[in-house]
Amino acid sequence: MTSATASIMVSILGMADEASAESFFVSGRGALFGWLAIISVFVLVSIVMARGGKVFKVRPIAGLSAVDEAVGRATEMGRPVLFIPGIQDMDNVQTIAGLTILSRVGKTTADYDAQIEVPVSRSLVMTAGREALGASFLAAGRPDSFNEDQVYYVTDEQFGYTAYVSGLMVRKKPAACFYMGQFFAESLILSETGNSIGAIQIAGTAETSQLPFFVAACDYTLIGEEFFAASAYLSGEPDQMGSLRGQDLSKALVGAVLVLGVVAMTAGALVGGLDGVTGFFQSLVGG
Amino acid sequence: MSRQLAIIVTLVAGVLMVVSGFIKPTEGWGEDVAEWFNILAAIAFVLGAANIAKVHLSKISARDAGWGFSAITLLAFAVTFAVGIMKVGVNPMPAFPNVAMSGEKDAGGSAFWWVYTYVMSPITATMFSLLAFYVASAAFRAFRAKNTEATLLLVAAFVVLLGRTFAGVVLTGWIPADSDWAFLRFENLSTTIFEVFASAGNRAIIIGIALGVAATSLKIILGIDRSYMGSGD
Amino acid sequence: MSFIDRLDAIDRRWIFAMMACAVAIPIIVIGMTGVRFPEVPGPTSTAAFEAIEALPDGAKVLFSFDFDPASAGELQPMANAFMRHLGQKKAKVYCQTLWAPAPPLIEDTLKKCLLARNPDLVYGVDYLNLGYQAGNEGVMKVITTDYKQSFPTDAKGTRTSEIPMMQGIENTSSFDLIVVVSAGYPGSKEWVQYVVSPTLGKERPIQLVAGVTGVSAPQLVPYFPVQMKGMLAAIKGAAEYEFMVNEVIEAANPGRPLPPAFMEAQRRMAPQLFGHLLMVGLIIVGNTIFFLKRRQSRRGGTMGAAA
């Protein structure tokens, strides 16, 4: 922690002196704390504004607009919808984002009276997935159509799971495949198998190493932050839209700091004598 | 009521994890929460095992498509579980020569080790190697110069594919390594694409993802987004 | 259906067959002839080599095997080369893993790459196998403050507090270098985020070198060279590093034959070469089909309009 941050903490929290602040706070995390606070304020203020009636627009995301089309196609063809919420556990935010999308896809599936199958690779995800899907069917007014065996556990082993899902695809030929969560090497195996059976495929992940594979093999791909924006986009709820707005404001701030920082550091290196400015930007990244 | 309890647990655990990252006396709390999760996940394994049995037994009894695979799955599960838990073929640890089951279940020569070495390893390696085949098929189908962006992608793919092998050295090896044009050698172009363009793109995407993760986590911790537990609407 | 249409709709199993040939034939030929291509080490591999080369005798190195048998084809040659190099440098190697299927890989690597060339090394004094610990990045967070809390015993069940090598090991900062060979999650990215980054800007930042799969390398490049001192990317990175390690070992042991296992990464560059060439060929064919079909459809469109 910088001495400036320590001083602020001393004055805010009424600590005896800077030394006690130093022993109370984890050192070197001042900048991180500052960024966390700013992002949280942006998100919370935007949510409050949205609740107050402020309308925020969100750009069209093709992959999410295609959810209805994909489920409708599966219904017409009389084939199931396959949903994979990644291969990680419930402590992974991508899995949670995937289940959020499952609840929307599940509701559409229930509306259309289509079949959905959700094989998962973690036991806890199975339990949470059943909750999410069950509530979706309930919200669609079709609680009787929900069968908890639609969400089932396969194995934790990465390629054991991949082998099972690939086999399932070849045998049952789902008309729509959703891959929403964290994926690793199995991403291309699954999406290429889905492609070979002619399924319409929508993927979403924040695992950047797998994005090229999904882009190559799927019809639509939610890239990084689009994946996390899906819940706001699909629900349109003011709280969700507000949080999206807060996220965008944060990104604008990060972009501005990035550009100014690059300019300041470059100028500092070229002309010198800008130690105060360059030091300020270094402190923003905890350096 | 149970849903409200879940939201409270999420809030408390989330706040603890955040606080533990900044306040020294609470540093261990975040680790404790992570350990609780591990305990929960370990208990959930039992649920998973029961579900495997239920799903596959019902497939076998209904003679569903692929029921034979279900039978193999159950058999493999039972055999691996049995040899692991009974430590078949495990020698006692040198420190406890009289305790028959004191050795590690996967010690060299044990039945579990045999399953690992001669069944699991080759099967999973085979699955991983399938990537080479799928990549080739995807490249044939998807790498088409349909527009400017796709053409750039195509050119970058060419350079990296050649630059990451000896072919690149052969094709552009005639450019002297110490000349001003050395950057045009395939291996150098490949490194530049990797370290400059790919790295810049990745950084931009990572920043967006980090903000998305932060906003999503905040929504979940504060209970604004509950759709993952089926109560979004 | 014209030839172009049939080629465009080719059964993908033909492509699979071509890839099988492109990979299998070089493996067989190289196995029979022993031919290998010379390597030109890139900057990330060279940096990894130099980071280990700069270690003093007896340096304490934590080696995390965060991969499984599935990815061993790509990562094991890296692990082998790292282990041999550490052995050559007389480093004290502390092996661990955060991946449940990895413990047998540690045993195998120690046996083949460390003990085979250095049979006098004593377990617990010169090298140590701490085995697997569940908890992913949770373990990383704990070992940054108290290593023995996460690893109270080694892989053989001996209390770490009773092992000579563990004297003086308090947390991850006690190591001179951390080597991570990783396939996914938890892996190098988490090591950077939870173990290395908190020490940046401090008096003694943690030094880390990593070996990673080709697919995850672009994601990790931004961390080089600040958070990661060096990186081996895919089998190409492994081949470059193996080439440099072999040169050092051959120079130190002139005339001593090099077992084929220690040229595994370089040998795998031949199938990689032909696999890549096949893909280049497929892309060219695919685009030729694309442009021919586009020209056909334009002609058809013009004729239709004229009619």
User: What is the C-alpha to C-alpha distance for residues B122 and B126, in angstroms, rounded to an integer?
Assistant: 6
C42: nearest CA partner in chain B: B191
Query: Distance from C30 to chain B by nearest Cα, in Å?
Result: 15
Residue C249 sits in the same domain as residue C279: no
* Average pLDDT, integer, range C273-301: 90
CB-based contact (8 Å) between C29 and chain B? no
Segment (H or E) for B33: helix B27-62
Segment (H or E) for B206: helix B199-221
Contact (CB<8Å) C15/B132: no
A273 domain residue, yes or no: no
**Radius of gyration of chain A, Cα coordinates, nearest whole angstrom:** 23
What's the pLDDT at A162? 96
Domains of chain A: total: 2
A272 domain residue, yes or no: no
User: What is the C-alpha to C-alpha distance for residues B9 and B13, in angstroms, rounded to an integer?
Assistant: 6
- Say how many CA atoms lie within 13 Å of B5 toward its Cβ: 2
Place of tokens 């300019």: A263
What's the pLDDT at A18? 60
Q: Say which amino acid occupies B176.
A: P
Residue C8 sits in the same domain as residue C81: no
A156: nearest CA partner in chain C: C100
Residue A166 sits in the same domain as residue A124: yes
| CA-wise closest residue to B134 among A220, A183, A207, A214 | A214
Widest pairwise Cα distance in chain C: 92
What's the pLDDT at A1? 43
Query: Would you say the C-alpha torsion B203, B205, B209, B215 has a positive or negative sign?
Result: positive
C305 — pLDDT class (breaks 50, 70, 90): very low
C204 domain residue, yes or no: yes
Residues C16 and B137: beta-carbon distance below 8 Å: yes
Contact (CB<8Å) C202/A28: yes
C307 domain residue, yes or no: no
* Average pLDDT, integer, range B61-81: 92
Render pLDDT for B173-216 as a digit per residue (tens, 0 to 9). Answer: 899 988 999 999 998 999 899 888 988 888 888 889 999 999 88
Query: Would you say the C-alpha torsion B218, B224, B227, B230 has a positive or negative sign?
Result: positive
User: What is the C-alpha to C-alpha distance for residues B113 and C66, in angstroms, rounded to an integer?
Assistant: 19
| CA-wise closest residue to C88 among C261, C260, C253 | C253
CB-based contact (8 Å) between C71 and chain A? yes
Asked if the bond preceding C186 is cis, omega within 30° of 0, the reply is yes
C274 domain residue, yes or no: yes
Residue A29 sits in the same domain as residue A152: no
Query: Distance from B62 to chain C by nearest Cα, in Å?
Result: 33
pLDDT at B228 over 90: no
Q: Which of residues 237-276 of A touch B (CB under 8 A)?
A: 237, 239-240, 243-244, 246-247, 250-251, 254
Name the residue facing B138 among A123, A188, A244 (closest C-beta). A188
Show the domain range for A93: 62-235
Q: Which of residues 162-221 of B touch C (CB under 8 A)?
A: 162, 164-167, 169, 187, 191, 194-195, 198-199, 202-203, 206
CB-based contact (8 Å) between A118 and chain B? no
b/e sequence C89-106, b meaning 16+ C-beta within 10 Å? bebbbbbbbbbebbbbbb
What's the pLDDT at A225? 87
What's the pLDDT at C300? 72
Residues B227 and A235: beta-carbon distance below 8 Å: yes
* Average pLDDT, integer, range C89-94: 96
A209: nearest CA partner in chain B: B202
CB-based contact (8 Å) between A140 and chain B? no
* Percent of residues, chain A, with pLDDT higher than 70: 92
Q: Say which amino acid occupies B157.
A: A
A158: nearest CA partner in chain C: C70
Residue A221 sits in the same domain as residue A138: yes
CATH code, C154: 3.40.50
A147 token code pair:
């069968």
Residues C239 and C48: beta-carbon distance below 8 Å: no
B196 token code pair:
């400059």
Contact (CB<8Å) C185/A184: yes
What's the pLDDT at B232? 52
Residues C218 and C188: beta-carbon distance below 8 Å: no
CB-based contact (8 Å) between B64 and chain C? no
Residue C28 sits in the same domain as residue C98: no
B166 — pLDDT class (breaks 50, 70, 90): confident
Residue A189 sits in the same domain as residue A252: no
CB-based contact (8 Å) between B130 and chain C? no
User: What is the C-alpha to C-alpha distance for residues A257 and A263, in angstroms, rounded to an integer?
Assistant: 10
What's the pLDDT at B1? 66
Name the residue facing B108 among C73, C107, C142 (closest C-beta). C107
What's the pLDDT at A111? 94
CATH code, A158: 3.40.50
Q: Name the residue with higher pLDDT: C295 or C127.
A: C127
Residue A27 sits in the same domain as residue A133: no
Query: Distance from B76 to chain A by nearest Cα, in Å?
Result: 12
Residue A140 sits in the same domain as residue A242: no
b/e sequence A50-63, b meaning 16+ C-beta within 10 Å? beeeeebeeeebeb
Give C-chain residues touching A184 at CB under 8 angstroms.
183-185
Show the domain range for C172: 43-262
Give C-chain residues touching B106 at CB under 8 angstroms.
103-104
Other beta carbons within 10 angstroms of residue B123's beta carbon come to 16
A281 domain residue, yes or no: no
pLDDT at C221 over 90: no
C58: left (phi over 0), alpha (psi -120 to 50) or beta: left
Alpha helix segments (H runs only) across chain A: 3-13, 18-24, 30-51, 62-77, 93-112, 123-139, 158-172, 186-196, 211-217, 225-235, 238-271, 275-284
Residue A258 sits in the same domain as residue A215: no
What's the pLDDT at C307? 40
CB-based contact (8 Å) between C219 and chain A? yes
What's the pLDDT at C188? 96
Q: Name the residue with higher pLDDT: A185 or B226.
A: A185
Render pLDDT for C224-273 as a digit per residue (tens, 0 to 9). Answer: 899 999 999 999 999 999 999 999 888 888 877 778 778 889 989 999 99
CB-based contact (8 Å) between C14 and chain A? no
Give B-chain residues touching C272 at CB under 8 angstroms.
164-165
pLDDT at C304 over 70: no
Cα angle, residue B146 at apex, residues B145 and B149 outer, rounded to 5°: 75
What's the pLDDT at B233? 46
Render pLDDT for B13-65 as a digit per residue (tens, 0 to 9). Answer: 999 989 988 888 888 888 788 788 888 888 888 999 999 999 999 999 999 88
Mind spelling out the 3-state secondary structure of chain C?
CCHHHHHHCCCHHHHHHHHHHHHHHHHHHHHHHCCCCCCCCCHHHHHHHHHHHCCCCCCEEEEEEECCHHHHHHHHHHHHHHHHHHHHCCCEEEEEECCCCCHHHHHHHHHHHHHCCCCCCCECCCEEEEEECCCCHHHHHHHCCCHHHHCCECCCCCEHHHCHHHCCCCCHHHCCEEEEEECCCCCHHHHHHHHHHHHCCCCCCCCEEEEECCCCHHHHHHHCCCCCCEEEEHHHHHHHHHHHHHHHHHHHCCCCCCCHHHHHHHHCHHHHHHHHHHHHHHHHHHHHHHHHHHHHHHHHHHHHHHC
Domains of chain C: total: 2
Residue A71 sits in the same domain as residue A187: yes
Query: Distance from C197 to chain A by nearest Cα, in Å?
Result: 10
Render pLDDT for C109-166 as a digit per residue (tens, 0 to 9). Answer: 999 999 998 899 999 999 999 999 988 888 998 899 899 999 999 988 889 999 999 9
Q: Which residues contact B16 (CB under 8 A, 6 or more apart)?
A: B26, B29, B30, B33
Interface mutation vs chain A, best among B32, B38, B219, B226, most A CBs within 10 Å = B219
Residues C114 and C83: beta-carbon distance below 8 Å: yes
* Percent of residues, chain C, with pLDDT higher than 70: 98
| Mean pLDDT, chain C, whole residue set | 91
Residue C165 sits in the same domain as residue C185: yes
Subunits next to C (3 or more Cβ pairs <8 Å) are: A, B
A280 domain residue, yes or no: no
Contact (CB<8Å) B143/C221: no
pLDDT at C71 over 70: yes
Residue A17 sits in the same domain as residue A101: no
User: What is the C-alpha to C-alpha distance for residues B24 and C194, in angstroms, rounded to an integer?
Assistant: 16
pLDDT at B2 over 80: no
* Paired sense of beta strands C92-97 and C127-132, if any: parallel
Q: Say which amino acid occupies A21.
A: A
C220: nearest CA partner in chain A: A209
Segment (H or E) for B147: none
Render pLDDT for B96-126 as a digit per residue (tens, 0 to 9). Answer: 788 878 788 878 789 999 999 999 999 999 9
CA distances (Å), C28 to each of B121, C77, C126, C234, in order?
A: 22, 19, 39, 22
Q: What is the ipTM of this complex?
A: 0.87
Place of tokens 């094991």: C76
Tens of pLDDT along chain A (287 residues) come to 444 444 544 455 555 566 666 678 887 788 889 999 999 999 999 999 999 988 888 888 888 889 999 999 999 999 999 999 999 999 899 999 999 999 999 999 999 999 999 999 999 999 999 999 999 999 999 999 999 999 999 999 999 999 999 999 999 999 999 999 999 999 999 999 999 999 999 999 999 889 989 998 999 999 988 999 887 888 788 888 998 999 999 999 999 999 999 999 999 888 877 888 888 888 887 65
